[in-house]
A = this chain, B = another copy of it.
Amino acid sequence: MSQTDPLKNCKNCSRRNNIFALLNDEELALVDQHRYEVTFNKGEIIFKQGSPLTHVACITEGLAKLYIEGLNKRNLILSFAKPVQMVGGPGIFNDYIHHFSVAAIEETTACLVDTRIVEGLIERNSIFACDLLKRANQISIDNFKKFINLTQKQMNGRMADAFLFLMDDIYGRNPFILTVSRQDIADLTAMSKENVIRVMKTFKDHQLIRVEGNLVEIINKKELVRISETG
């Protein structure tokens, strides 16, 4: 499955985030010297909400979830991170605290880069800074959509959204192997896991999706989009 790519250094890395193309060789070498490549087992925490923010992560393999630990042990999944996404934290330039947790859903490899290095680059390379600002803005825009999803749609609409999101943005293929649990989908859609199962059943009964174990296929995308849009 994975290539025989040694990921030896940032300059030749085939799994690096686009943002690093904005750095010159010297800057890239600096990043390279201050990164740690770590592989996390399924279920392991990469960043823990409330802990000091010392590194940002660049996911090179696997899949991780970004989630807020909320009230009464309930979580809210903000998003997932797959290769080659960068998972920073809004704590940068602020309180240097992680404001959400990140955990590996599958076995996940990440390069951890010292935030001080990132900050140095922001200060000396304005193109890099602009790109980070652009990314922060894009996350904001995505959050607006999520706000409407979660507060103005009911369960069917939220679930339709979730499946379209998983297919298009996370797994990027149509029959896909669902590596996230029902509870994760519940945390993503802000509903109970029981209702996740129930809505999945109605989607199955209405021939919108096909579910066989962990294999999920979107059969009627058009209708799912309609459900997602009408709430």
Residues of A within 8 A of B (CB): 68, 70-72, 74, 76, 78, 90-94, 99-100, 122-124, 126-127, 129-130, 132-134, 136-141, 143-144, 146-148, 150-153, 190, 230-231
Whether B93 contacts A134 by the Cβ 8 Å rule is: yes
Which residues on B sit within 8 Å (CB–CB) of A137?
90-94, 136
Chain B contacts of A123 at CB under 8 A?
Answer: 126-127, 130
Q: Are A147 and B150 interface neighbours, CB within 8 A?
A: yes
A130 and B130 in contact, given A70-B148, A137-B94, A153-B71 (Cβ under 8 angstroms): no
Q: A143–B141 contact, CB under 8 A? A: no
Among B72, B74, B147, point to the contact of A76 (Cβ < 8 A). B147
Residues on B with beta carbons closer than 8 Å to the beta carbon of A129: 122, 126, 129-130, 133
**What is the chain B residue whose CB lies nearest that of A119?**
B130
On chain B, the residues within 8 Å of A140 by CB distance are 90, 99, 136, 139-140, 143
Beyond A122-B129, A140-B143, is A76–B190 a contact (Cβ under 8 Å)? no
Assess A90 versus B141: contact at CB under 8 Å? Given A126-B122, A129-B126, A129-B133. yes
Query: Are A152 and B74 in touch, CB under 8 angstroms?
Result: yes
Instruction: For the complex formed, measure the closest distance between the CB of A144 and the CB atoms of chain B, giving whole angstroms.
Output: 5
Cα A76 to Cα B143 in complex, Å, equals 12
Q: Which residue of B lies closest to A139 (CB)?
A: B140
Do A148 and B92 touch (CB < 8 A)?
A: no
Q: Residue on B with the closest CB to A229?
A: B71
Can you list 26 pairs linking A and B with CB atoms under 8 Å apart?
A: A68-B147, A70-B147, A71-B153, A71-B230, A74-B152, A76-B147, A76-B151, A90-B136, A91-B141, A92-B133, A99-B140, A99-B141, A122-B130, A122-B133, A123-B126, A123-B127, A126-B126, A126-B129, A129-B129, A129-B130, A132-B133, A136-B140, A140-B140, A143-B147, A147-B147, A150-B150
Contact between B122 and A152 (Cβ–Cβ < 8 Å)? Answer: no
Flag if A144 contacts B100 (CB, 8 Å).
yes
Cβ-closest chain B residue relative to A148? B70
Task: Assess A72 versus B133: contact at CB under 8 Å? Given A141-B90, A151-B150.
Answer: no
Asked if A93 contacts B148 (CB within 8 A), the reply is: no
